[in-house]
Amino acid sequence: MLYLLLALLFAAPALAQDDDHAQMAEYERIGQEMTALASRNAWDGVERSYEALLDTEIPLTAEQHYYGAQAAAHRGDVAAARDRAMKALEVEDDQAYHDWIHRIDQNYGPVSLMGDPGKVGLTIESMPFEPHQSAAVHFATEQVKETGSFEGLLPAGHYQFGPMSLRVRPGVHTERIDIRSDKYMRKLERQQRHDKDDSDSG
């Protein structure tokens, strides 16, 4: 029995070391796969690789976070893109990361929109031409269509969320809007009266 216990004690560190080697090998394999996918602009695959790298719990490189940021931006999730660019910046102080975060802050504003699924939609007055910005609008409109709500970053502009008009300004958090609440029903009534008065005076 003593020999068995000693054998188990010595075997445990070796097994743990084997697991570490296997995990690192998987990390390196996924990292190489991500780089190859990014070179082909296969951003859906890059997103999957990024999530898989996070699952290994091994710290990611700045470049890997940056690839993940680009994947999120192509999907239209600008809040995730900004968060990942910040993570890249924490690993490596690169001017490219600073510049991208600055561009996001200069062109997008944070919003919190809540409504009932299937009863509310989100539209923008003028769709932006810039691909990442238009992707962000599509991402938000699909979120609202599926869940009735959206919390994230939208390009600056004028929007219609259900019956409510709102203006998104760069770097300025739009007032939290829950059109299910009495507060916003009263606000809607005031807005409709104001619009009617403007129409009558015109």
Owning domain of residue 23: 2-105
The residue among 76, 105, 134 that closes a domain is: 105
Percentage of the chain surpassing pLDDT 90? 65
Task: Specify the amino acid at residue 173.
Answer: H
| Six-digit token string for 128 | 């932006």
Using an 8 Å Cβ cutoff, are 132 and 73 in contact? yes
Whether the predicted pLDDT of 70 surpasses 50:
yes
pTM: 0.80
Q: What is the pLDDT of residues 49-59, one digit of tens each?
A: 999 999 989 99
Q: What is the pLDDT of residues 137-165, one digit of tens each?
A: 999 999 999 999 999 999 999 999 988 88
Do residues 8 and 49 share a domain?
A: yes
Classify strands 157-161 and 122-124 as parallel, antiparallel or unpaired: antiparallel
The residue among 105, 131, 152 that closes a domain is: 105
Do residues 93 and 113 share a domain?
A: no
Do residues 101 and 10 share a domain?
A: yes
Do residues 136 and 89 share a domain?
A: no
Total domain count, the chain: 2
For CA atoms 182, 188, 194, 200, give the dihedral sign.
negative
